[in-house]
Amino acid sequence: MQKFKIPEEKKIRVILDTDVKNEVDDQFAIVQAVLTEAFDIRGIIPAHFGSEKSKTSQKDSYDEAVLVLEKMNMRDKIKLYNGAERAIENETTPINSQGAELIINEAMKDDKRPLFISFLGPLTDMASALLLKPEIAERDITVIWIGGRDYPIGGWEYNLNNDIAAANVVFKSKVRLWQVPRNVYRMMPVSFAELYDRVYPYGEIGKYLCENVIAFNNAAPSRPAEYRILGDSPSVGLMMYEDCGEWSEMPAPEFDKDMKYIHNDKNRPIRVYKNINSRFILEDLYAKLRLAYK
């Protein structure tokens, strides 16, 4: 593992909410987060990713999270909490789940360390937690969401599409929110050659990460031939270093049925990232894999 230690009082509490079986980039973010010494991982919430690809998407994410942790030899060290099996029906009706309860319990704890909740898929579990316990919005928590289309117009985006109502609940709330929209999370390309040089040699997990990407891309003609975008990894970089990219604050927009932004200036300011430092994030991932599994 790392050759250094971080004092417990300096660590941040982290919850990852991930639709990890949807594609092949969440896996990299999970691995990097778990290997980050400054993170106290309070739990991973396997999330649904709609019903178009699978009728059991939440269970699929759970099984994939188990597989990733097993290949890291970390299954007994990180707890998994089931998220909602589907999107919320409207902006007033939550879905109670182990994941929503984890968010509430951690948010309400008497712990001086800040809590970061990173969403790599839909915002279903955060919206449900806010609807079940509105006062958590006043606690020292930061929600990071990988999702939403480019500003200022918006439009169709995968994570948003899987629960538009949940996104509206979170964006209309008072919770501290950092958004990484699509044009920014796509600033994380890696080539297959780079992955095989810097990831593949390190443990069963390194081999799995690479082989999983190759198999996924080769399964469909429309997918890239020799690169992959690790679009969820900015969430890890931002929890480590919040200026790992330029950002600006603006009143939180809302979303219409076509997923376009509604700029009505009604809501509190949120942070929207304009770019991301991919070098910082990727080199950190490679170093942590090498130190953990060489």
And the tokens for 264?
Answer: 């009505």
Looking up tokens 């501290």, which residue turns up? Answer: 176
**Domain 8-293 -> CATH class:** alpha beta
Question: Residue 4 has what pLDDT?
Answer: 85
User: For the chain, what are the domain ranges?
Assistant: 8-293
Is residue 275 within 8 Å of residue 256, measured between CB atoms? no
Question: Residue 1 has what pLDDT?
Answer: 58
**CA-closest candidate to residue 263, choices 251, 248, 274:** 251
And the tokens for 222?
Answer: 């429309």
pTM (2 d.p.): 0.97
**CA-closest candidate to residue 99, choices 89, 86, 114:** 86
Per-residue pLDDT of the chain (294 residues; tens, 9 = 90+): 567 899 999 999 999 999 999 999 999 999 999 999 999 999 999 999 999 999 999 999 999 999 999 999 999 999 999 999 999 999 999 999 999 999 999 999 999 999 999 999 999 999 999 999 999 999 999 999 999 999 999 999 999 999 999 999 999 999 999 999 999 999 999 999 999 999 999 999 999 999 999 999 999 999 999 999 999 999 999 999 999 999 999 999 999 999 999 999 999 999 999 999 999 999 999 999 999 998
